[in-house]
């Protein structure tokens, strides 16, 4: 069995309730291609509020090349070859107090795909309503049902420009407005917001290229920041009731090594949909870190390389009591399924794929300490 070296978390984690890190590619904590205008680069735009983020896909594949293909009659055809390597690219617009007011006064227009009429509201009104605990007042902002939307998407001649339909009609970009760490708006879900004026007057632009490999639909699917706004917390607005990122306290990943020897050191890390990470025995599961939604997409990209059906085990079949040794656990959501893998070194070796993924997660967590 391959030994997995644990990462020891220290007491300084208790003060790190939120670590806003750059989005990662292949679980690396570095970002590439930072470009700024108007003033020096901001080391990390995710620490700045308010801001506007725009996510797009850029193809970093090899450009088309000319390959000769001669025919028997002497003619030569040139064959074009191109490899596609899509990466998510993010542009951030960092706003000052003046542009903040302009932003909050922008009008939200209710999208027509829900077959309802609603008076326009400002972004300020949207944020204020969403802060209320009064659910009926919040609910007034959104469709009374999805019946109109369901009827619309069945008509092939209509291509709805709402992120609810991202699976069938992939968007060209995703716009997210952050008022503060806990308050944000995703454009073109239920409302359309024109950001042209605010962007034009934004004092700082930070372009962070090649954040993470993948298509925009994949990014949307694995982002809690986006998914949580596709139903705004109302179950009746669910278009996919099985989606695991709709509730922030849903457990999406557990990586653990339980030591039966009291002198040995084990670990257990639990990842939640909103990016929180907890571990038992330290301030009663106080969140140690909060990773960004694009960091979770990077982890999910790695999860997608694991064939859980091959490695699937039934936890109930493992012995209830292990006298000595280790018990390794990997619980993870993938494509709507929750897999529970448990290995006991006395009875079952850990597959190399699982060892590699666990080690990658531990290395990723160790970087959060720095």
Relative to beta strand 32-37, strand 204-213 is antiparallel
pLDDT tens digit sequence for 160-218: 999 999 999 999 999 999 999 999 999 999 999 999 999 999 999 898 778 999 999 99
- Distance from C-alpha of 100 to C-alpha of 354, rounded to nearest angstrom: 46
Q: What is the pLDDT of residue 156?
A: 81
pTM of the model: 0.80
pLDDT tens digit sequence for 44-83: 788 899 999 999 999 988 776 556 667 766 666 665 667 8
Phi, psi of 359 (to 5 degrees): -65, -35
Q: Are 332 and 252 in contact (CB under 8 A)?
A: yes
Q: What is the pLDDT of residue 36?
A: 38
| Of 21-30, 62-71, 111-120, 272-281, the least confident | 21-30
pLDDT tens digit sequence for 229-285: 999 999 999 998 778 888 888 899 999 998 877 777 888 999 999 988 988 865 555
Q: Are 210 and 33 in contact (CB under 8 A)?
A: yes
- Distance from C-alpha of 270 to C-alpha of 293, rounded to nearest angstrom: 16
Verify cis geometry, omega within 30 degrees of 0, for the bond prior to 50: yes
Q: What percent of the chain has pLDDT over 90?
A: 44
* 109 pLDDT tier (thresholds 50, 70, 90): very high
Of the candidates 189, 209, 224, 205, the residue with the CA atom closest to the CA atom of residue 295: 224
DSSP states along 240-264: -TT-TTSSTT-EEEEEEEEESSTTS
Q: How far is CA 273 from the centre of its chain?
A: 9
Q: What is the pLDDT of residue 28?
A: 41
- Distance from C-alpha of 244 to C-alpha of 210, rounded to nearest angstrom: 26
CA–CA distances in Å: residue 282 to residues 8, 13, 328? 12, 9, 20
Q: Are 67 and 78 in contact (CB under 8 A)?
A: yes
Long-range own/partner contacts, residues 250-253 (CB < 8 A, 24 or more apart)? 251/331, 252/296, 252/332, 252/333, 253/299, 253/303, 253/331, 253/332, 253/333, 253/361
């Amino acid at each position: 069995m391959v030994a997995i070296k644990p990462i020891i978390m220290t007491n300084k984690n208790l003060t790190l309730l939120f670590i806003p890190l750059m989005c990662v590619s292949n679980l690396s904590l570095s970002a590439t291609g930072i470009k700024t205008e108007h003033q020096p680069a901001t080391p990390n735009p995710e620490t700045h509020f308010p801001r506007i983020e725009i996510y797009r896909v850029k193809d970093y594949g090899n450009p088309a090349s000319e390959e000769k293909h001669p025919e028997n009659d002497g003619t030569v055809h040139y064959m074009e070859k191109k490899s596609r390597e899509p990466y998510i690219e993010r542009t951030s617009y960092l706003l000052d107090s003046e542009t903040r007011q302009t932003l909050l006064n922008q009008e939200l227009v209710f999208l027509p795909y829900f077959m309802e009429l609603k008076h326009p509201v400002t972004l300020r009104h949207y944020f204020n309503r969403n802060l209320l605990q009064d659910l009926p007042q919040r609910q007034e902002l959104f469709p009374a049902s999805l019946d109109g939307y369901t009827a619309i998407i069945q008509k092939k001649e209509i291509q709805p420009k709402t992120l609810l339909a991202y699976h069938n009609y992939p968007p060209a970009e995703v716009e997210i407005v952050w008022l503060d760490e806990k308050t944000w708006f995703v454009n073109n879900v239920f409302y359309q917001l024109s950001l042209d004026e605010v962007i034009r007057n934004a004092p700082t632009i930070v372009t962070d290229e090649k954040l993470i490999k993948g298509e925009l639909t994949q990014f949307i699917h694995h982002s809690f920041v986006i998914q949580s706004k596709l139903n705004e917390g109302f179950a009746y607005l669910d278009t996919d009731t099985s989606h695991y990122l709709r509730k922030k306290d849903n457990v999406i990943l557990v990586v653990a090594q339980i030591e039966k020897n009291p002198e040995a050191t084990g670990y257990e890390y639990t990842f939640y949909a909103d990016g929180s990470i907890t571990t038992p025995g330290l301030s009663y599961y106080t969140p140690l870190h909060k990773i960004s939604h694009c960091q979770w997409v990077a982890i999910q990209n790695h999860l997608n390389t694991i064939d859980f059906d091959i490695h699937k085990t039934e936890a109930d079949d493992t012995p209830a009591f292990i006298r000595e040794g280790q018990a390794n656990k990997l619980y993870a959501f993938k494509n709507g399924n929750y897999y529970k893998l448990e290995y006991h070194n006395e009875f079952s070796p850990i597959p190399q794929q699982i060892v590699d993924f666990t080690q990658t997660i531990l290395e990723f967590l160790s970087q959060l300490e720095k």
